[in-house]
Structure 1
Amino acid sequence: MKNRVVLDWLFNYDKHNLKGDLTAGLIVAIMLVPQGMAYAMLAGMPPVTGLYAAAIPILLYALVGSSRQLAVGPVAVVSLLVYAGISPLAEPGSDEYITLALLLMLMVGVMQLLMGVLKLGFIVKFFSHAVISAFTSAAAIIIAFSQLDHILGFSIESEHLVMTIIEAVSRITEINGWALMIAAASIIIMLAVKKYVPVLPGPLAAVLFGIAVVSWFQLNQEGVSIIGEVPGGLPSFVLPAISLESAAALLPTALTITFIGFMESFAMAKVIASKENYRISANRELSGLGLANAGGSFFGGFPVTGGFSRSAVNYDAGAKTPLASVVTALLIMLILVFFTGAFYYLPNAVLAAVIILAVYKLIDIKEAKSLFKIRRIDGVVWFVTFASTLFIGVEQGIFIGIGFSLLVFIWQSAYPHTAELGYLKKEDIYRNIKRFPEAAVKEDMFILRVDAPLYFANAGFTGDKLEQVVYERKDLNHIILDFSGVNSIDAVALHEVERWKHDFEIQDIKVTIVEMKGPVRDIFRKAGWPEEELHRTLRKEAAATS
């Protein structure tokens, strides 16, 4: 059947993929346990909910998603957005907070499902890459500094980045040396494992180290905060409490997570699919993530998406089909049933180290430099988004960035590129006189090439340019508009062109339009223009002018 989902990979399963899928599933599960608990802490949720969010959603995504290697679960940026959106409404970790997190997860899932069903995956193409790069870079910095209290061993009251740094510096004498040492050692261990024993998950080594040190020396009695009791057993089925008032308050956060989560997930899925030479569907990815979030909201999690690092590990470990994700989910469930007690002495400093090491790679200053070098305005968009996210707020930053990038687009389209053309006799061709100063220009003729679609917002700019030229050139008697770069024109712009033609011809200045493309010609034809005026060429019209 053409529309099969599960059957495509399950009932046609190639047994040669089994070893790679089992290995990848095991490695990702081991990696996901500390990451899931760390990201739950970042989201303001109890650590065990990170395992809930790592188990059920990944199974649901495997049913619908089109990527064979994408590892769905908690990720740093989405966890930060959860905290930023819910913490003003409820105390992190409280029952009310957890209830709102489940509602938020359900809202994200429903939005993504609807977008997938309605085939709205194309919407994310309107999100500037500069905005996403800047947002994730700034969010990574915020995430890293949000872990200072766990690393330094005392509670930091400030939530704003600058105030957090100031408070941490002012209270430097209160640092818990054991917590700082554990965090630093965990980072060193993870880096060393990655360099010298890359087949082993570094976060797991750090977790084992942290548990061993704290339990051996009883450092929890020395002020080192630990996870403590982690409830055992599979997550219970629970209906999210739906409140219109709460849903309205969470709507901006839900929208942000819906788009940011999908873009992060889809970007990684595309990278892997291109390497494996298969196609993925944006709409199926939306449906898969939507099902993962909507279904996961009934089992005590918080919003999830496809993660960069885990997906890369899943792929590198040999995953060939979604069976690897199924194996990961089943192993997480086994851990929930039998091994949650082993995490009692896990220090929060280790989880903080896991988070910091996971997010520092998201800080993409290289991309900012590249944008400024290639096209300055894109660099400005990056900087505005980055600064807004860093100093105003996470949700505000992404919306400011999107709004600013759209304003830049509107401004650019309202002021299209135009070029006065001159004649190069040797090549027998017309070129932009700014790029080819040697091109000959006649005083009684002005040739303007418009390099953009003409519509209601930018037609006035072109008209102003023509009026300026008419004012400056007293001997002008012929204006030629080269429409070779005009792909479309709306009715308002067409009326503007007709007005120019009428007004200038009253002044004995002929107006000719040349090199019309088919779609533009069709619009002029519907407006009643004579057929002979729709097929003029630049070479012939320019040569005819004395």
Structure 2
Amino acid sequence: MLRHYPRHQLPGDLLAGLLVAALAVPQALGYAAVAGVPVQVGLYTLPPALLAYALFGTSRVLLVGPVSTVSVLSGSIVRTLAAGDPDLAVTLTSALAVTAGLVLVVAGLLRLGWVAQFLSEPIVTGFVLGLVVLIVVGEVPALAGLPAPSGNLAERVLTLVGGLADFDGLTLGVGAVALLVLFGGQRVLPRVPWSLVVLVAGVLVSTQAGLAGRGVTVVGDVPSGLPVPSLPLVDVRLLGGLVTGALAIAAVGIAEGLAAVRTFSAEDVDARTDDRELVAHGAADLASGLFGGMGVGGSLSKTAANASAGAHTQLSGITSAVVTLVVLVVATGALADLPRTVLSAVVVHAVWGLVRPRDFARYARLRRNDVVAALVALGGVLALGPLGGLLLAVAQSVLGLVYRSVQVDVDEMGRVETEKAAWGSLASDPTRRTYAGVVVLRPSGPLFWANATSVLARVEGMALERAASRGVHAVVLDLEATNQMDATTSDRMTHLVRSLRRRGVDVHLVRVFGEVRGVLGRAGLLELLGPGHVWHSIAAGVKAAGEHHEHPGG
């Protein structure tokens, strides 16, 4: 890339890299606190993740790094596994990143990119909103100078409400001012890196006013220097929870990353994008974890800032990585006096943009099932936590997919006289032509193991009803919508053929394509049907059904 780099793009990439670093560095500090690890872990995350994605990624403007969804997931998993051990929490955080990276790289090499699109947009919307609620509730104690409560969401909210009278006025005042500057400044001058402004101002005010000595909690000493790569090793008894958590982190991180790629790099998307992005995001997670960082994802907010600042290539991400390295070497000492409440304000401001109530209204307007899916995902996160909520969302997505797949109608077809070889449903136009003694039936969706019994039972019932009322002697079954075949479905079709033949109704199949024909052949169904019972078009099948009735030996 660098060998063929257009020099006229250099100013835009460098400026974008500097501006994104001004946004990413404060957020990385805050997200490390959300993940329950020291703030320097957030800084250790950025350079290796940005450089790894620059090497392997497909998007020219995507920025990877700590993101709210991955951070809160990582924090919830680590708190459960570490049982209050701060050193173990750091090791587990990096181990989660490494494991998630391995999962994504393997999935990409196996070309499983399609799995990343499995969760529907409404489910992701509800899931993300639930995470925002958890993050904001989790940051309220630090904003107000209150001890952090434990327990589930309801218990924490009740504890906070009961202890509001004990808030520290100075801490709350500093946090409130930081929030006012972040939200107000964003409205007035949206291109200014207000997170950096608040960060620097917080350090200066804290140092000059001696806030640490007046009861305001500060970040404390932050080690300087560059991290040394190492493999985070954990007790084998924790591997089960580690792998489960890593799968969740990988899924959430790649979901946001692919959304950002499609939003800001549509021209770079092709058939291989998902698989290549799995490898690139996995490499970023691996690099981050090996250098003592945490799990990452493609950031919608930072990618938007990168694109609007004029970035052309991944040189902007490399610039941000270099800036972060400089901060690690020369500027970490200045962070010691940073009030923790300022970091909480930065986190709240960063995740607030993910709250989109209009999406819920749009889902409700378009389709009731979509808003129900979003609300179930939201409720799952609030009631069960991030990991439980994600598993519930996945289960809901699977059940929804199966339910919709089972809802397959069977249409009786008639010939469209005004068009050559065209057939359509009689339900939409009863004047379409039918043929004496023959009924053409077509399932509206693909047949597979979950719906084969009910759909083929409907086919049998319709055939027998037409046989009794109209003297039908043959069914032409159109399998155009079915592009896969399984043992259960072929067995049910065999039962259908035998059952109808016992009642004097023959069966012909039409538009049996590809692997479907192969499976039916190996299952013995084509042999059972006999010659002249499988055709490439409805018209040919109807003609053969009529002729076969007139000349059964032909």
Common topology (TM > 0.5):
yes
- How far is 1:323 from its partner? 1.8
Deviations 1:100-146 (A, max 9, x none): 11222221222222223333323313333333222112111211111
Cα separation, 1, equivalents of 2:156 and 2:436: 66
| Alignment partner of 1:322 is 2:314 | yes
| Alignment partner of 1:477 is 2:471 | yes
Once the two structures are overlaid, the 10-residue window that deviates more, 29-38 or 184-193, is: 184-193
Q: In the alignment, which residue of structure 2 is the partner of 1:534?
A: 534
Q: In the alignment, which residue of structure 1 is the partner of 2:10?
A: 18
Q: In the alignment, which residue of structure 2 is the partner of 1:4?
A: none
Q: In the alignment, which residue of structure 2 is the partner of 1:146?
A: 138
Deviations 1:294-321 (A, max 9, x none): 2322322111222111121122212222
The residue type paired with residue 406 of structure 1 is V
Q: In the alignment, which residue of structure 2 is the partner of 1:489?
A: 485
- How far is 1:32 from its partner? 1.6
SS in structure 2 of the partner of residue 134 of structure 1: helix
Q: In the alignment, which residue of structure 1 is the partner of 2:176?
A: 184
SS in structure 2 of the partner of residue 386 of structure 1: helix
Whether the aligned pair in 2 keeps the contact of 1:44 and 1:92 (CA below 8 Å) is no
Any unmatched runs of 5+ in structure 1? 1-8
Deviations 1:184-212 (A, max 9, x none): 22222122322332332011122233233
Match of 1:466 among 439, 452, 459: 459
Whether the aligned pair in 1 keeps the contact of 2:58 and 2:268 (CA below 8 Å) is no
- How far is 1:443 from its partner? 11
Q: In the alignment, which residue of structure 2 is the partner of 1:165?
A: 157
| Alignment partner of 1:381 is 2:370 | no
Whether the aligned pair in 1 keeps the contact of 2:409 and 2:455 (CA below 8 Å) is no
Cα separation, 1, equivalents of 2:111 and 2:415: 49
- How far is 1:83 from its partner? 0.7
SS in structure 2 of the partner of residue 408 of structure 1: helix
Change (3 A) 1:119 1:14: same
Match of 1:45 among 5, 13, 37: 37
Change (3 A) 1:12 1:148: same
The residue type paired with residue 348 of structure 1 is R
Deviations 1:223-277 (A, max 9, x none): 3211122222222344422432222221111111112112211221232222578
Once the two structures are overlaid, the 10-residue window that deviates more, 325-334 or 159-168, is: 159-168
Once the two structures are overlaid, the 10-residue window that deviates more, 98-107 or 119-128, is: 119-128
Change (3 A) 1:153 1:510: same
The residue type paired with residue 327 of structure 1 is T
Whether the aligned pair in 1 keeps the contact of 2:412 and 2:425 (CA below 8 Å) is yes
The residue type paired with residue 391 of structure 1 is A
Match of 2:91 among 99, 105, 108: 99
- How far is 1:59 from its partner? 2.0
| Alignment partner of 1:453 is 2:446 | yes
Give the alignment of 1:123-522 within 5 angstroms. Answer: 123-274=115-266, 281-421=273-413, 431-436=424-429, 446-469=439-462, 474-478=468-472, 479-517=475-513, 520=516
SS in structure 2 of the partner of residue 392 of structure 1: helix
Change (3 A) 1:538 1:477: farther
- How far is 1:536 from its partner? 7.1
- How far is 1:77 from its partner? 0.7
Cα separation, 1, equivalents of 2:516 and 2:111: 29
Whether the aligned pair in 2 keeps the contact of 1:134 and 1:364 (CA below 8 Å) is no
- How far is 1:397 from its partner? 0.9
Once the two structures are overlaid, the 10-residue window that deviates more, 414-423 or 403-412, is: 414-423
SS in structure 1 of the partner of residue 81 of structure 2: coil
Deviations 1:379-413 (A, max 9, x none): 33322222111111110111111112112222332
- Identity across the alignment (%): 28
- How far is 1:35 from its partner? 0.5
Cα separation, 2, equivalents of 1:279 and 1:188: 45
Deviations 1:341-362 (A, max 9, x none): 2222211221111111111222
Q: In the alignment, which residue of structure 1 is the partner of 2:23?
A: 31
Cα separation, 1, equivalents of 2:96 and 2:182: 33
Cα separation, 2, equivalents of 1:26 and 1:186: 22
Once the two structures are overlaid, the 10-residue window that deviates more, 535-544 or 308-317, is: 535-544
Cα separation, 2, equivalents of 1:427 and 1:516: 23
Any unmatched runs of 5+ in structure 2? none
Change (3 A) 1:484 1:99: closer
Once the two structures are overlaid, the 10-residue window that deviates more, 25-34 or 117-126, is: 117-126
Deviations 1:441-493 (A, max 9, x none): 89976543212222333221123213444676643532443334333434542
Once the two structures are overlaid, the 10-residue window that deviates more, 434-443 or 448-457, is: 434-443
Per the normalisation by structure 1, the TM-score is 0.89
Cα separation, 2, equivalents of 1:110 and 1:60: 14
Change (3 A) 1:64 1:519: closer
- How far is 1:538 from its partner? 4.3
Once the two structures are overlaid, the 10-residue window that deviates more, 462-471 or 397-406, is: 462-471
The residue type paired with residue 387 of structure 2 is E
Q: In the alignment, which residue of structure 2 is the partner of 1:78?
A: 70
The residue type paired with residue 57 of structure 2 is G
SS in structure 1 of the partner of residue 80 of structure 2: coil
Whether the aligned pair in 1 keeps the contact of 2:507 and 2:533 (CA below 8 Å) is no
Change (3 A) 1:436 1:362: farther
- How far is 1:149 from its partner? 0.4
Change (3 A) 1:520 1:361: same
Once the two structures are overlaid, the 10-residue window that deviates more, 371-380 or 337-346, is: 371-380
- How far is 1:95 from its partner? 1.0
Cα separation, 2, equivalents of 1:304 and 1:347: 25
Change (3 A) 1:487 1:141: same
Change (3 A) 1:531 1:117: same
SS in structure 2 of the partner of residue 420 of structure 1: strand
Q: How many residues align?
A: 538
Q: What is the root-mean-square deviation in Å for CA atoms of aligned residues? A: 3.0
